[in-house]
Amino acid sequence: MTQTIWTLSIIFLTLLGASIMFYVAKKTQPNKDFTAIQMRVKTWWGMFVIFCFATLFNPIVSLISIMVLCFFALREYFSMMKSRKSDRRIFLWSYLMIPLQFYWIYIGWYGMFIVFIPVYVFLFLPLPRIIGKGTLGFLRSVSFTQWGLMLMVFGLSHLAYYQTASPEFGPNLVLFLIILTQVSDVVQYLISLYIGKRKVIPTANPYITWEGFMGALVLTTCISYYLFPYLTPFGLTFGILSGVIISVAGYFGSVTISVLKRDLLIGDSEKQETLKYRYLSRIDSLTYTSPIFFHIIRYFFDFM
């Protein structure tokens, strides 16, 4: 717990410093547009509060805080869909699946937790859309809804299961994962913005370059090397490898969400600009890093 408090204190001071620097820059350079930075700082503060609850308090508080995060992420995802009146029922059932998924975590039923959304919800979810609602737009609404549940609920809910699977190491592993994921995202963005030239996948995410991707990979791995002795029970090899896994998985998560957003918001540039700096853009990498890192640890280590 001491290491967790120290780490959170460092994150708090870093965010405070970034907020002060932004405030000073905004005052001294009033003609420049700092909207992007302002929105990023605000969302980072919001995520900091959520993950303080997820790492410092008892498992029930952590469970509820991450459940709330899943709810808002799914709601934001649904707000991007060009939905019809007939889709409202399937949206309602999707929201009801969130507390059920977290109930399996609460009682520690790993078998149901891992198959509930990929199997049972996948099979059940089309039924409310079929009954009395016809076939028009069926495949699009159901498939996009299921994608949303898989990423925003199933993927992110793994953050809550770390503590259930390993009460001793779980909270620190969540903190470790979040720090490395966010560092990778920020470094990718900054390097790609200022010195990046060669885009990795311009059709999916035009902002990430090879320079940003490689820079984030190296820096995330270095930070993993310095952090793992304090926040994890890993040895040197996996401590270093964790940075590589999280950076690469985070990139794939960011690209996947970018493609989904571009597909959902085709022809709606106004909404695309509005949602550009919302929470979904800050947690897109976590939808991949959370489950991938969890299952790799569970496969290779007995404490999970």
Q: Share the mean pLDDT of the chain.
A: 81
Mean pLDDT of 231-244: 93
Q: What is the pLDDT of residues 108-125, one digit of tens each?
A: 999 999 999 999 999 998
**Exposed, middle or buried by CB within 10 Å (0-12, 13-18, 19+), for 52?**
middle
| The pLDDT of residue 24 is above 80 | no
At 209 the three-state DSSP class reads strand
At 273 the three-state DSSP class reads helix
| The pLDDT of residue 9 is above 70 | yes
The separation between the first and the last C-alpha atoms of the chain, rounded to the nearest angstrom, is 19
What pLDDT sits at residue 151? 92
Q: What is the pLDDT of residues 143-196, one digit of tens each?
A: 888 988 999 999 999 999 998 898 888 888 888 898 898 888 888 877 887 787
Mean pLDDT of 13-36: 71
Locate 122 and state its tokens. 């996948």
Please report which confidence band the pLDDT of residue 17 belongs to, taking 50, 70 and 90 as the band edges.
confident
Do residues 78 and 148 lie in contact, with contact meaning Cβ atoms separated by under 8 Å? yes
| The pLDDT of residue 55 is above 80 | no
Q: What is the pLDDT of residues 202-220, one digit of tens each?
A: 776 677 788 888 999 999 9
